[in-house]
Amino acid sequence: MDAIRDFVNSVANKLEEFKASLNSSERDIKQLKDANTSINVGLEAIKGEIKSVNEQKTLFSMALGSFDVLSAKIATFLRDSKAEINETITSATKRLDDAIAAIPIIRDGRDGKDAVVDYVKIDEKVAARAKELDEKLKKEINRKISDSFAKIEVPQAEKVDYNVVDFKVRAAMSQIPKSETTVKDVSLKKKALVIDYTDGKSKSIALPTGGGGTAVYQTGGGGTETYTNLTPTAVSIGGIPAGSTFDNMTMQEMWDALLYPYQTPIFSSFTSSMSTPIEVGSTIPAGSVTFLWNTTNSSNIAANSIKIDDITAGNTLASGLANTGTTAISISEITNVMATSHQWKITATNTKGVFLSRTLNVYWQWKIYYGESALTDLIEADVEALRVGTLAANVSGNYSFNAGEYKWICYPTSFGLKTTFKNASTNFDVAMQPALTKSITNSQGVSTNYYCHRTVNKLGGSITISIS
């Protein structure tokens, strides 16, 4: 009987020890809850930082900096909290295991069976309770982590490149050590925090996109990622202008639009085989005329959209032309007996449906005559015999004269009477006789009146006279 009494007392002592171990485990759980509280405080601090970033409403570059801070804080939080949780679970599990191991199984030594069956059952119940507490503890830890991540707010900005953000956050996450807890890894995937567990399960927590709209990332059956956000962009970034929206755009299209802005094509030149300027009265003969052009960013010109119009005559010469840079077109005869122009226009459509154009002009002009003469007065033949005869639209400019004799310059009265003549080198006035009016018939048989000026004196040296 004494032996049984001693045994019962021993078991009672062991139970007290086990009870104390359980109390210790409860204290460990409380410590874990305190740790989670500390984590929540840290998360509130992170949210405060994120709110401060949101209030700044920085542009693209500042947004990326905010994500660097966020990802670093997340990495630090996970690294510290997972280590703390690991240590707590390990400690609690060890205490439970030690308590269980300390419970003896008493055998009577006669039949090899358990002498105290009830205590073996207690052992089983303790083990089951330990497993239950362990699972409960793990579930509570995972719930806390999931809830914490769900409360994390992503900094908003005028424009955020989530592909770059994804890279930066992934880089931060890679610094988090792997542990043997139920939380295996945390990563940013398709704008959501994804928690992976050791049992193969995972949980996705969506992150907000901001901007007043909803950004949707989808993955098609072939693995093609698309992006939709119907909220207009606030600013222009790269090749994406302010006010842009996105409807089921692929990542390839998004990156191409950002990094390779649309290059608007233009006509860099438009010429022809016709000469210009030509003298008043000259004729452009009927027949084939070659029109030539050059374009920039030719790939952005719609196929077969080239058209050439005779603007002056008011008709279309050709349309539906390929962008080959040249074409031959038959035209009718064109003659003008006054100073004027004839205009042609080439047009095309770019790949965005916008027209581009350039004009070509052939000008009919009168000649200006100037040079040196010993004569104090000139007749028509003398005017036409002056050293230089050149086509011009007006008389303003600089005229170089050789040394000796009077300096003469004659121009159509339609240009208007000029009164200012200066030495281009000194800006001093050059003394000129009042203008003489002469009727001149040009080489095409068309007549007009000219003003003719000469210097008051013969000038021995060369001179450049500026007329205005």
For 234-267, write each residue's pLDDT tens digit: 888 888 888 888 888 888 888 888 888 889 999 9
Q: Cα dist. 94→261, 339, 468 in Å?
A: 62, 107, 105
pLDDT for 433: 96
Mean pLDDT across 389-412 = 97
pLDDT for 210: 45
Helix (H) or strand (E) holding 363: strand 355-373
Helices 117-150, 2-56: crossing angle, 10 deg rounding: 0
Do 422 and 277 share a domain, yes or no? no
Q: Cα dist. 459→25, 310, 387, 433, 456 in Å?
A: 119, 50, 16, 14, 9
Mean pLDDT across 329-355 = 96
DSSP secondary structure letters along 174-229: TTSPP-SSSEEEEEEETTEEEEEETTS-EEEEEPP--TTS--EEEE-TTS-EEEEE
Task: For residues 39 and 45, give the distance between their C-alpha atoms in angstroms, rounded to a whole number.
Answer: 10
Which residue in 387, 289, 385, 279 sits closest to 332, CA to CA? 289
Do 13 and 54 share a domain, yes or no? yes
Q: Looking at 198-352, which runs of residues are DSSP E strands?
A: 202-206, 216-219, 225-229, 246-250, 267-272, 278-279, 283-284, 287-295, 306-310, 315-321, 326-331, 334-335, 340-349
pLDDT for 240: 85
pLDDT for 28: 58
Do 113 and 254 share a domain, yes or no? no
Helix (H) or strand (E) holding 360: strand 355-373
Do 255 and 166 share a domain, yes or no? no
Do 257 and 242 share a domain, yes or no? yes
Do 128 and 11 share a domain, yes or no? yes
Do 185 and 169 share a domain, yes or no? yes
- Tell me the HSE value of 6 on the side-chain side, using a 13 A CA sphere: 3
pLDDT at 74 over 80: no
Q: Cα dist. 13→10, 105, 379 in Å?
A: 5, 14, 144
Which residue in 228, 54, 82 sits closest to 158, CA to CA? 54
Q: Minimum mean pLDDT among 24-28, 213-217, 302-306, 409-413: which range?
A: 213-217
pLDDT at 212 over 50: no
Global confidence as pTM: 0.52
pLDDT for 55: 53
Mean pLDDT across 363-380 = 97
Copy the structure tokens of residue 363.
């000008």
- Its sign, for the CA torsion 377, 379, 384, 389, is positive
Do 197 and 223 share a domain, yes or no? no
pLDDT for 362: 98
pLDDT for 60: 44
> b or e along 30-53 (b: 16 or more beta carbons within 10 Å of the residue's beta carbon)?
eebeebbeebeebbeebeeebeeb
Task: Please give the order of strands across the beta sheet that includes 421-423.
Answer: 397-401, 463-467, 421-423
CB atoms within 10 A of CB 418: 17
pLDDT for 35: 53
Do 414 and 340 share a domain, yes or no? no
pLDDT for 167: 53
DSSP state of 112: S
CATH code of the domain in which 311 resides: 2.60.40
Instruction: Look over the chain and give the mean of its residue pLDDT values, rounded to a whole number.
Output: 77
Of 208, 241, 276, which residue constitutes the final position of a domain?
Answer: 208
Which amino acid is residue 419, in one-letter code?
T
Q: Cα dist. 305→75, 155, 330 in Å?
A: 57, 47, 20
pLDDT for 436: 97
Do 138 and 48 share a domain, yes or no? yes
Residues spanned by the domain of 233: 215-261
For 37-63, write each residue's pLDDT tens digit: 655 555 565 555 555 545 544 444 444
pLDDT for 317: 97
pLDDT for 276: 96
Contacts of range 230-234, beta carbons closer than 8 Å, 24 or more positions apart = 233/158, 233/159, 234/158, 234/159
pLDDT for 175: 47
Of 186, 208, 230, which residue constitutes the final position of a domain?
Answer: 208
Number of domains in the chain: 4
For 121-168, write each residue's pLDDT tens digit: 555 666 676 677 667 766 766 666 666 555 555 545 444 455 555 555
Of 336, 363, 390, which residue constitutes the final position of a domain?
Answer: 363
Residue 372 main-chain phi, psi, to 5 deg: -110, 145
The rounded percent of the chain whose pLDDT value lies above 70 is: 55
Do 111 and 193 share a domain, yes or no? yes
Mean pLDDT across 311-325 = 97
Burial class (CB in 10 A: 0-12, 13-18, 19+), 66: buried
Do 172 and 198 share a domain, yes or no? yes
